[in-house]
Chains A and B, each alone.
Chain A
Amino acid sequence: IRMTQSPSSLSASVGDRVTITCRASQAIGNELGWYQQKPGKAPKLLIYATSSLSSGVPSRFSGSGSGTDFTLTISSLQPEDFATYYCLQDYNYPYTFGQGTKVEIK
């Protein structure tokens, strides 16, 4: 299953609402997660099963979608949110990541 993320990068300011999309090449139900990665660090799980917030993740992060189209939204971008975000389909093996979206400071 191919996962296509868009955009590949974006520039935004603190306080902005940011939306990242992920499209699957076939229907994957709600079997999608979102990960945040900062340079030199391991990825961090933000959201699983499309919309469930991982423990300790701020409520400004949310996820939605089903089938083939999914969205990660950051309602009010904070300085610590500048990072690269990846979607992951865990509908079936082999699992596949999107190519990533780098969120940079405007």
Chain B
Amino acid sequence: QVQLVESGGGVVQPGRSLRLSCAASGFLFTSYVIHWVRQAPGTGLEWVGVVSQDGIIQFYADSVKGRFTISRDNSRNTLYLQMNSLRAEDAAVYYCARGGLNIAATIEDYWGQGTPVTVSS
């Protein structure tokens, strides 16, 4: 079955970097767009960004543009979220979620369990 498993979360100091991973299985990874969505403690969902099937096209939320980069390794069925210059407001649970077969499609019903990121000195 379709599985998405995030990893790499943890505690990081403000201004430092962290890289999250999302390992996919149970579907043809190269056919699907993948999204990152986050949720700060006690708050709602925030869309973070998306990457196309070939990794060439990315879009980002204004709040992370220029600091976060999404990439993917299709040979490893793995998605990455490189987070630089982290701020307190980036603290959240980060989810990867499967999009559709084209970049314009919605976020489907396949999500990981989330990985928590804490930004604190």
- A residues with CB within 8 A of B: 31, 33, 35, 37, 42-45, 48-49, 54-55, 84, 86, 88, 90, 93-100
Contact = CB atoms under 8 A, between A and B. Distances in A.
A60 to B, nearest CB: 18
Contacts, number: 57
Nearest to A90: B106
Contact of A93 (B44, B59, B95, B113): B59
Of the listed residues A31, A48, A55, A95, the one surrounded by the most CB atoms of chain B closer than 10 A to its CB is: A95
B112 A99 contact: no
Nearest to A48: B106
Contacts of A88: 45, 47, 106-107
A55 B109 contact: yes
B44 A45 contact: no
What is the size category of the interface that chain B forms with chain A?
20 to 34
Interface of B: 35, 37, 44-47, 49-50, 59-62, 95, 97, 104-109, 111-114
A49 B95 contact: no
B99 to A, nearest CB: 9
Contacts of A54: 109
Contacts of B59: 93-94
